[in-house]
Chain A
Amino acid sequence: MSAALEQVAQPDATPQPAVARRAPRRPARGTVLRWVILILAGIYFVGPLIAAISFTVQDHVHGGISFSAYRQIFATPATGQIGFTTALVYSLELSAITIVITLALMLPTQLLLHLRVPRARGIVETLTLLPLVFPPVVLVVGVSDTFAWVGDNKGGLSSFVTYIRGGGHPLVLALLYVTLAMPFVFRTIDAGIRSIDARTLVEAARGLGAGWLTVLFRVLMPPLRTAIINAAFLCFALVMGEYTISSILLYTKPFPVWLYQLPTTSGQVQAAVSVFSLLLVEVLLLMIGALNWRRGTQKRG
């Protein structure tokens, strides 16, 4: 320290170069490690996808690139089978219904747990974990047995079960998906509510004269938007990828079941179907995410 000060105090001492030479900057050890992990994770996740895409666009007969495998997905369906658009729209409808029912159940439940009955939170949290404990196959077998038992009774409940099982609308599937989505949606909304100090916001709004509906829609829902959209993401991804339940209950319209039942023996087409379904869900999720981001920035601007 003192040597440095002496050097500053003696301008005529050994001339210094105009620009001090900097030691070459070494990347920090942590930075290198981060990049290594990122690259490995990228290879792990993106590698198989790139390999699959590469396989689906290879023209094995003439060489070069061909999209014929993808064209076959959209080819006119054979008689008695449904086409791509029908299956996709069916699954989108199913997603929308699942999202609406899940949020309509979970949001008020969570708010009640946070604001009115915090003691019941542990019990409800445990209940929401049950769908993770029982595999979907167990769930669907139980549901099938219950439906069969209700059907035998021939009462009003039987008519209801017949109605929700009707092939024209996917209500029964939506109800099952609501159950499957419960553990994830519960925690997503829970985290959202914890981050906003809901109790104080409710009290502030009530004190200013707001009724309960105003509190819910004007005060609580806007700051919970991200949590709600994330919950919707989870429901959507779950519905677009769920095969077991709809297949066992003999529903052929959902998109994953339709993909599986495509009448082809070509490995290239089957790979193209997998890639396409993956990318489609990704694109739809990104679209919803972009909408959320845009709204967020507009509000801040």
Chain B
Amino acid sequence: MSAVTSIAPSGVVQSGTTVEYRDVYRVFGAMSALAGLSLRIEPGELLALLGPSGCGKTTALRLLAGFDRPTSGSLLIDGQDVSNVPANKRDMGMVFQSYSLFPTMSARDNVAFGLRMRGQSGPQRRGRAVELLELVGLGEHAKKFPHQLSGGQQQRVALARALAISPRVLLLDEPLSALDAKVREQLRDEIRRLQLELGVTTVFVTHDQEEALSLADRVGVMRDGRLEQCAAPQELYDRPATQFVAEFVGRMNRLDAVAEPGSMVRVGTQLLPADGASPAGGGPIQILVRPEALVVTPDSNGDTVVMVATFRGATTRLRLLRADGVELLADVASHLAPEVAQGRRVSVSLLERPVLVAASSEQEVPIDE
């Protein structure tokens, strides 16, 4: 990705910054929160760190912010090692999950705080603060105190405060987790709009895969302090590099199959091409299939029964039970759902497209809703 340059609201030209983790370890007693993280974030890129609780994503962010120091390895910003630079000298703008607005300051003073620390004069910083508040749609609320604002408004102020100092990197630590669904979606779009407008390199930490996939240029999936895969959302979804990524990002069905010559896979009577590494022909294997890649058709003689049908808006998720006891998940368009309602017999096939072959050493993971 090439360097990004853009115009900030007050006409200040901002350039994106490169961030690099080089073999970073962070050890707490006997536990490694980060175990050799290596990652490069390009200028102007929005990278989401995704993973379950305790995977090390927040530790990675805190190290970058300067709130913690790596046990070993180095952190580079624009090629300079900042591992030992204190937080107040790093020029990072951070938005926390818990809003973190200074409770005795108005929204304007909160936004102006960082500018005050940089020695800007009163009128200058107040003007800039109001400008930033207008940018996040809160110009009229400048004089309100945090307790007079809703959760979404407080998080907007926190965003404006982080952006006011024209940060080299914008750090977002699960900023949407505490908000209700509608506000979360609005603010998510707003963050993306501002990030693109300002061209600021951004690291977004979340455990919500939908948030990560819809917002980021690239998503880094973490597990046990390691980066499992870092790729564009579509690639991550379509070609998960590991079993963990496949199971964590979206849902997967695990099906028995047989490897056939020529990188082909036989599933029941269907012969499909294998995606990625081709298995040796003739042996039993397992394949991973997304719920939307299953084709469910009503069939009174079918060997599969619909156990549960869950309406999810445009699609309905079916939990199916095959005669051999294998459970499957399938997504069907909701307008077709009445034909495959709960208790109906159906037959299941796979879409004619390449299928992922599961690594043989991996244990079976039960599918549950």
A225 CA to B102 CA, complexed, in Å: 13
Q: Does A222 contact B (CB under 8 A)?
A: yes
Contact bitstring A207-222, B, C-beta under 8 A = 1, else 0: 1111100100001001
Point out the residues of chain B lying under 8 angstroms from A209, CB to CB. Answer: 88-89, 91, 114, 117-118, 165
Contact bitstring B17-53, A, C-beta under 8 A = 1, else 0: 0000000000000000000000000000000000000
Contact bitstring A181-219, B, C-beta under 8 A = 1, else 0: 000000000000000110011011111111100100001
A223 CA to B100 CA, complexed, in Å: 12
Chain A residue nearest in CB terms to B161 = A208
Point out the residues of chain A lying under 8 angstroms from B104, CB to CB. Answer: 222-223, 225, 299
Query: Separation in Å of the B345 CB from the closest CB of chain A?
Result: 43
The answer on a CB contact under 8 Å between B88 and A204 is no
The answer on a CB contact under 8 Å between B94 and A203 is yes
The answer on a CB contact under 8 Å between B96 and A200 is yes
Chain A residue nearest in CB terms to B62 = A203
Chain A interface, number of residues (Cβ within 8 angstroms): 20
In the complex where A203-B65, A203-B96, A204-B96 touch, is A210 in contact with B102 (Cβ < 8 A)?
Answer: no
Contact bitstring B277-315, A, C-beta under 8 A = 1, else 0: 000000000000000000000000000000000000000
The answer on a CB contact under 8 Å between B103 and A223 is yes
Query: Separation in Å of the A74 CB from the closest CB of chain B?
Result: 42
Q: Does B6 contact A (CB under 8 A)?
A: no
Point out the residues of chain B lying under 8 angstroms from A34, CB to CB. Answer: none
Contact of B102 among A201, A206, A207 (CB under 8 A): A201
In the complex where A223-B104, A299-B104 touch, is A211 in contact with B88 (Cβ < 8 A)?
Answer: yes
Give the residues from 81 to 120 in chain B that come closer than 8 angstroms, CB to CB, to chain A: 86-94, 96, 98, 100-105, 113-114, 117-118
In the complex where A208-B165, A299-B145 touch, is A197 in contact with B98 (Cβ < 8 A)?
Answer: yes
The answer on a CB contact under 8 Å between B94 and A219 is no
A210 CA to B113 CA, complexed, in Å: 9
A219 CA to B162 CA, complexed, in Å: 16
Which of B65, B67, B101, B113 has the largest count of A CB atoms less than 10 A from its CB? B113
Contact bitstring B242-284, A, C-beta under 8 A = 1, else 0: 0000000000000000000000000000000000000000000
Point out the residues of chain B lying under 8 angstroms from A196, CB to CB. Answer: 103
A211 CA to B86 CA, complexed, in Å: 10
Point out the residues of chain B lying under 8 angstroms from A29, CB to CB. Answer: none
Instruction: Count CB-based A-B contacts (< 8 Å).
Output: 70
Chain B interface, number of residues (Cβ within 8 angstroms): 30
Point out the residues of chain B lying under 8 angstroms from A200, CB to CB. Answer: 96, 98, 100
Chain B residue nearest in CB terms to A225 = B104
Contact bitstring B155-190, A, C-beta under 8 A = 1, else 0: 000100110010000010000000000000000000
Point out the residues of chain A lying under 8 angstroms from B96, CB to CB. Answer: 200, 203-204
Q: Does B66 contact A (CB under 8 A)?
A: yes
A197 CA to B67 CA, complexed, in Å: 16
Contact of A206 among B88, B98, B158, B171 (CB under 8 A): B88
A222 CA to B96 CA, complexed, in Å: 21
Point out the residues of chain A lying under 8 angstroms from B117, CB to CB. Answer: 208-210, 214
Point out the residues of chain A lying under 8 angstroms from B118, CB to CB. Answer: 209
Contact of A207 among B88, B98, B101, B105 (CB under 8 A): B88
Point out the residues of chain B lying under 8 angstroms from A211, CB to CB. Answer: 88
Query: Separation in Å of the A52 CB from the closest CB of chain B?
Result: 42
Chain B residue nearest in CB terms to A219 = B102
Query: Separation in Å of the B161 CB from the closest CB of chain A?
Result: 7
Point out the residues of chain A lying under 8 angstroms from B94, CB to CB. Answer: 203-204, 207
Query: Separation in Å of the A170 CB from the closest CB of chain B?
Result: 34
The answer on a CB contact under 8 Å between B113 and A205 is yes
Q: Does A300 contact B (CB under 8 A)?
A: yes
The answer on a CB contact under 8 Å between B67 and A206 is yes
Chain A residue nearest in CB terms to B67 = A203
The answer on a CB contact under 8 Å between A300 and B145 is yes
Query: Separation in Å of the B117 CB from the closest CB of chain A?
Result: 4
The answer on a CB contact under 8 Å between B100 and A203 is yes
A208 CA to B96 CA, complexed, in Å: 13
Chain A residue nearest in CB terms to B103 = A223
A204 CA to B99 CA, complexed, in Å: 10
Point out the residues of chain A lying under 8 angstroms from B93, CB to CB. Answer: 207-208
Point out the residues of chain A lying under 8 angstroms from B87, CB to CB. Answer: 203, 206-207
New contact pairs (5) apart from A203-B100, A206-B86, A299-B145, CB-CB < 8 Å: A197-B100, A207-B67, A207-B171, A210-B113, A222-B102
Q: Which residues of B contact A (CB under 8 A)?
A: 65-67, 86-94, 96, 98, 100-105, 113-114, 117-118, 145, 158, 161-162, 165, 171
14 contacts between A and B (CB under 8 A): A196-B103, A203-B67, A203-B96, A204-B101, A206-B67, A207-B65, A207-B90, A207-B94, A207-B162, A208-B161, A209-B88, A210-B88, A210-B113, A223-B103
Instruction: Enumerate the 5 nearest inter-chain pairs by beta-carbon distance, A residue then B residue, closest first.
Output: A208-B114, A209-B117, A222-B104, A206-B87, A204-B100
